[in-house]
Structure 1
Amino acid sequence: MNFIFLGRLYENINQFMCGIVGYVGDQHAYPIIIKGLKRLEYRGYDSAGIALHQQTKLGVYKKRGKVAELEEEALGKDISGTIGIGHTRWATHGEPSDRNSHPHVSSSGKLALVHNGIIENYAQIKSELIKKGYEFYSDTDSEVLLNFIEDIRINNECSLEEAIRIALKRVVGAYVILVIDEDDPNTIIAARKGSPLVIGIGKGAHYLASDASPMLEYTKEVVYINDYELAIVRPDELILKNLGNERITPYVQKLDLELSAIEKGGFEHFMIKEIFEQPQTIYDCLRGRLDLVQMDIHMKGIEEQAEALIRAPRIIILACGTSWHAGLVAEYIIEELCRINVEVEYASEFRYRNPIINPGDVIIAISQSGETADTLVAIETAKSKGAIILGVVNVVGSSIARASHAGAYTHAGPEIGVASTKAFTAQLTVLTMMALKIAKIKGTITDERFAKLLIELNAVPQKVSDVLKNHTDIERLAEKTYFG
């Protein structure tokens, strides 16, 4: 089956720029990292690379192109080592090329780094380093950050951990970084701000990645790292600190996700798989919430904010990309059912102006990943001004979920295809239930209409399934329409 898509909807381009994988343990790191990078290929990338700690040296291999080309580059070479970091790059500073690929190595050759994000003040830092005699092999902001860390370590005669902490207090922008040191064969140091980082806890091993998919077959116990946190990761030890050097107790969560969810399962590609998963995804959204016996919707988080919702002068929906489009649909539904003014804002625009937020305003933040950087910053701004935050996210324990006063998970499972399908329909399902629940709380809907809409909503999974059964006819019509 072939489908033609004329465009893509991105939730937040910053979330898809790069993929990061790290491993520290007693197993051969190379195959674990390569497999992890392949799990992250859905993010899109133009080059890939890996750095391995090989006892007395760092082995670094990187290549423009796909992970398969990186594997070819490493054929016949030393790929030993039980500690390593890997990266898939989407170019932001410097063209796609071998030399701009990650990992980057410091001027001394002692440190290697992978980085996801953008360092906004890199040019100023680079200028300072050039005056000190540093030379740069690449055009990237990431190499600047690495040499900045090394310069601090040398001049301050401090540990790598302390040098990273000092550097990150100076830089402006978003980052997830993993750093390894030739002189320390047991440690990866990681830090994040604005880009996601997950650490998986195994037996005598730790796994690091941009999302949980690379570690699913090894562990289901994970720690989601928060902004401004730094992790010192060893085979049998995970130390978490803030940038003030204060210890933080890691919050370990169990992934409610099976390996089969990130495999194609007999479909030609993930896009088709996820299209056909929509009936089950919608059903999972409704399950345990839509109650046709009591004719009610059970959403505990919304119920706990009942008084705030009754008093709220308006609702503001904050989202990016696909989630923003879900918000546009929700605007019509909420205004129709709840009789309250709704505004839909693009989070990346909202965060860079001085929005008027009044105490009691209700913010609905929508994000598939729960890590959309612009949306996260926007809701923190709104929360500081007294707004109530309701999150609609897919990933349990994500940053936006933790930052919200209440909300609802979409239970869509991982979405590997970049063009959104099941995540979008799951968001619409949850937002519709939220609208119905708020309308019931506010008394803006009759019992008769409420019951009728519940029955209609309950029928949606079967109706979607019926449509998908006609995929052959739909494909034929699509081809006829497109090709004429």
Structure 2
Amino acid sequence: MCGIVGYAGPASTGRSSVLEGGAGPDSGGEALAAVLEGLRRLEYRGYDSAGVALVTGGEDGSERSLSTTKRAGRLARLVEALDAEPLPASSTAIGHTRWATHGGPTDANAHPHTSADGRLAVIHNGIIENYATLKADLQAEGVEFASQTDTEVTAHLLGRAAAAALAEVGADGGPADAGEALAEAMRRVCRELEGAFTLLAVHVDAPGVVVGARRNSPLVVGLGEGANYLGSDVAAFIGRTRSALELGQDQVVRITADDVVVTTFDGAPVTPRAFSVDWDAAAAEKGGYDWYMDKEIHEQPKAVADTLLGRTDASGALVLDELRMDTAVLRRTDKIIVIACGTSAYAGHVAKYAVEHWCRIPVEVELASEFRYRDPVLTERTLVVAISQSGESMDVVMAVRHAREQGAKVLAICNTQGSTIPREADAALYTHAGPEVAVASTKAFLAQITACYLLGLFLAQLRGNMFADEVRTVLRQLHAMPEAVQTVLDRTEEVRELARELVDAKSVLFLGRHVGFPVALEGALKLKELAYLHAEGFAAGELKHGPIALVEEGQPVFVIVPSPDSRDSLHAKVVSNAQEVRARGARTIVIAEDGDDAVLGSADLVIRVPRVPTLMAPLVTVVPLQVFAMEVASAKGLDVDQPRNLAKSVTVE
């Protein structure tokens, strides 16, 4: 739930802070500039409070000390505090932006937390599940706590362990020995902790060193020239380097300006996997849009195109060599279970219709948070598909582990390289949507649907459910979708005007059938997330089974109408549903294909989308709903990118 950044490198390089008008190079030097730059890019992970810790002094003969500044609220409040009371230049720093779990968003609960002797600072992402027991033991020994957080327990434990490890090094030890002592202290403490955590720590007696650790929570290393970085996401250091290292489960890392050392919690050396980040710093900026979400909505044609890129050979046949899963496993699969949360779950619902149609394999879609608690029936012939934008959603992580324990094979569909879910799965299929900064997901949703469709076509091709020319036909349809999505984006002014008109609405309903049903659910979710409005999505055929009681005079109802070419007269049925609610006073906003005049008699407003094959329709019909939710929130004066109570990566259950 939190963003974390660490820096070890020169104290000054002449760079300026990217945070215009605040906390420039006169405050904290290069270390603080690097950390604030990373925190700004990670603020989407949590924005209840922010703080930094620097090891300062020593270069000019002055005594080294630990300097910390933290504030409740947005990162801007921290920057204001740093401007008011600048910190000395430093070559070592850690920073944190928090989404509150234990203890409210106050200055005292903000990270970093310091040890009792004031010589060590620690920041934390995740939850220490046994913190209450550890805290009680420390309090019994006379340790006083200044916060309500679980994190402060680790600060006191690390402070004690570091003092012991440094004492073992002795006065003759050099900086490298002090750094290794801090790493050993981290290993000792991590073996005591239970739960999900990423920890970063700095110590006065180990200048130039940042130590980190991860269990069930993300941490990556950035490899710079003359400096190294730690972050909960590569966005933390993407403005400075694209070279990164992937850290595994239960590992401790020690960085200095010119070295990175990784071990297990037991001290065994580890050689981490190196990778290169394929997007740049500009991709994480707003690019002239008012909101990151607006930018990301407009990036959807590229997100779909990039997810398709390189997945066909010269003959047009589908190739997914990156899966690296035994094809025999895929051929004998007799059931697919999709596990995901929120928007990703709705992408799975869309995929269910296509995969069952193409592959004739039963597909179940499960909320990951409920999956392992209902004792699911899994066998070695079950393929579990885990969908997650971040790859760190803890509900999905735990569902993946349960599935593998039960003998099922797991395939991850994910947008974030080096994250936990694809690492722990048997195979991974990456989307290529690029960084998604806005908390409410948009382009990741379209990329996930696209990746799911690629998987479904690959299975159909592999198992002989479709002929090669049939697969190529659908692939051509998919490759045409970026242009279709762009067409929708070019027509959004009408949707924006509607949003401004309905800004005072108290409730909005969404209706759909077939692949339009999960689109209705996603449209309602976006409006809840962004505009804090009551919104519900329903299967249109369920209207007369209860939901029609909600319809009253003036009630806005979005109706996602399928193509007139859809099977089983589905189009006529949905048009009839629109007429039913309109007859009861609803204001019907119908999303329909170009040229579909049959909807005119049942619509107060028709929002047109290009004609596309039925199974491709969600890629275009969801876009007006995304724009509508964003524009309503903006018109209400709300923060579109960081809605209240939400965080981008839900790393606790």
AA partner of residue 116 (structure 1):
N
2:50 to 48, 51, 59: 48
Contact 1:338 1:444 in 2 (8 A): yes
Contact 1:302 1:438 in 2 (8 A): no
Cα deviation digits, residues 258-296 of structure 1 (max 9, x gap): 1211111111121111101111111112222256x7453
Counting matched residue pairs gives: 467
Corresponding residue for 2:135? 126
* Equivalent position SS for 1:297: coil
2:3 to 19, 36, 41: 19
With over 3 angstroms needed to count, the CA separation of the structure-2 counterparts of 1:476 and 1:64, relative to structure 1, is same
Q: Quick one: distance in 2 between partners of 1:109 and 1:57?
A: 9
Corresponding residue for 2:75? 67
Q: Quick one: distance in 2 between partners of 1:254 and 1:453?
A: 32
Output aligned runs, 1:64-213, within 5 Å. Answer: 64-75=72-83, 76-153=85-162, 159-213=181-235
Corresponding residue for 2:455? 434
Structure 1 residue 301: Cα displacement: 4.2
Contact 1:351 1:374 in 2 (8 A): no
Contact 2:47 2:75 in 1 (8 A): no
RMSD: 2.1
Counterpart check, 1:255 vs 2:277? yes
With over 3 angstroms needed to count, the CA separation of the structure-2 counterparts of 1:54 and 1:327, relative to structure 1, is same
AA partner of residue 463 (structure 2):
K
Contact 1:290 1:458 in 2 (8 A): no
Structure 1 residue 257: Cα displacement: 1.3
Q: Quick one: distance in 1 between partners of 2:372 and 2:252?
A: 25
1:230 to 241, 252, 270: 252
Q: Quick one: distance in 1 between partners of 2:446 and 2:133?
A: 45
Structure 1 range deviating more: 170-179 or 160-169? 160-169
Counterpart check, 1:216 vs 2:238? yes
Structure 1 range deviating more: 376-385 or 114-123? 376-385
AA partner of residue 378 (structure 2):
I
Q: Quick one: distance in 1 between partners of 2:371 and 2:456?
A: 23
Q: Quick one: distance in 2 between partners of 1:303 and 1:203?
A: 34
Counterpart check, 1:414 vs 2:422? no
Counterpart check, 1:346 vs 2:346? no
Contact 2:8 2:229 in 1 (8 A): yes
Output aligned runs, 1:263-278, within 5 Å. Answer: 263-278=285-300
With over 3 angstroms needed to count, the CA separation of the structure-2 counterparts of 1:446 and 1:239, relative to structure 1, is closer
Contact 1:116 1:177 in 2 (8 A): yes
AA partner of residue 133 (structure 1):
G
Structure 1 residue 451: Cα displacement: 4.6
TM-score in terms of structure 2 length? 0.68
Counterpart check, 1:57 vs 2:65? yes
* Equivalent position SS for 2:90: coil
Output aligned runs, 1:358-437, within 5 Å. Answer: 358-437=379-458
Q: Quick one: distance in 2 between partners of 1:207 and 1:154?
A: 25
The higher-RCO structure (CA 8 Å, 6+ apart) is 1
AA partner of residue 438 (structure 2):
G
Q: Quick one: distance in 1 between partners of 2:147 and 2:371?
A: 34
AA partner of residue 182 (structure 1):
V
Contact 2:324 2:427 in 1 (8 A): no
Q: Quick one: distance in 2 between partners of 1:303 and 1:252?
A: 19
With over 3 angstroms needed to count, the CA separation of the structure-2 counterparts of 1:442 and 1:303, relative to structure 1, is farther
Q: Quick one: distance in 1 between partners of 2:89 and 2:328?
A: 60
Structure 1 residue 302: Cα displacement: 5.3
Q: Quick one: distance in 1 between partners of 2:199 and 2:120?
A: 12
Structure 1 residue 74: Cα displacement: 1.8
For structure 2, the 5+ residue unaligned runs are 12-29, 58-63, 169-180, 506-653
Structure 1 residue 449: Cα displacement: 4.8
AA partner of residue 48 (structure 1):
A
Contact 2:4 2:94 in 1 (8 A): yes
Contact 1:35 1:214 in 2 (8 A): yes
Structure 1 residue 126: Cα displacement: 0.6
* Equivalent position SS for 1:184: coil
Q: Quick one: distance in 1 between partners of 2:200 and 2:91?
A: 15
Contact 2:182 2:206 in 1 (8 A): no
Q: Quick one: distance in 2 between partners of 1:286 and 1:464?
A: 14
Corresponding residue for 1:36? 38
With over 3 angstroms needed to count, the CA separation of the structure-2 counterparts of 1:47 and 1:376, relative to structure 1, is same
Cα deviation digits, residues 202-236 of structure 1 (max 9, x gap): 12211111111121121111112222000111111
Structure 1 residue 104: Cα displacement: 0.6
AA partner of residue 332 (structure 1):
Y
Q: Quick one: distance in 1 between partners of 2:469 and 2:235?
A: 44
With over 3 angstroms needed to count, the CA separation of the structure-2 counterparts of 1:30 and 1:370, relative to structure 1, is same
Corresponding residue for 2:600? none
Which structure has the larger Rg?
2
AA partner of residue 346 (structure 1):
L
Structure 1 residue 386: Cα displacement: 2.9
* Equivalent position SS for 1:84: strand
TM-score in terms of structure 1 length? 0.91
Contact 2:36 2:95 in 1 (8 A): yes
Structure 1 residue 478: Cα displacement: 2.8
Structure 1 residue 155: Cα displacement: 6.5
Structure 1 range deviating more: 80-89 or 303-312? 303-312
Contact 1:302 1:437 in 2 (8 A): no
Structure 1 residue 244: Cα displacement: 1.1
Contact 2:45 2:98 in 1 (8 A): no
* Equivalent position SS for 1:21: strand
* Equivalent position SS for 2:436: coil
Structure 1 range deviating more: 98-107 or 316-325? 316-325
Contact 2:201 2:210 in 1 (8 A): yes
Q: Quick one: distance in 2 between partners of 1:174 and 1:131?
A: 25
Counterpart check, 1:319 vs 2:354? no
* Equivalent position SS for 1:296: coil
Q: Quick one: distance in 2 between partners of 1:472 and 1:362?
A: 43
Structure 1 range deviating more: 348-357 or 327-336? 348-357
AA partner of residue 456 (structure 1):
Q
Identity %: 41
Contact 1:30 1:79 in 2 (8 A): no
Structure 1 residue 452: Cα displacement: 4.1
Corresponding residue for 1:10? none
Structure 1 residue 23: Cα displacement: 0.6
Structure 1 range deviating more: 260-269 or 411-420? 260-269
Corresponding residue for 1:307? 328
Q: Quick one: distance in 1 between partners of 2:183 and 2:132?
A: 24
Counterpart check, 1:240 vs 2:257? no
AA partner of residue 241 (structure 2):
T
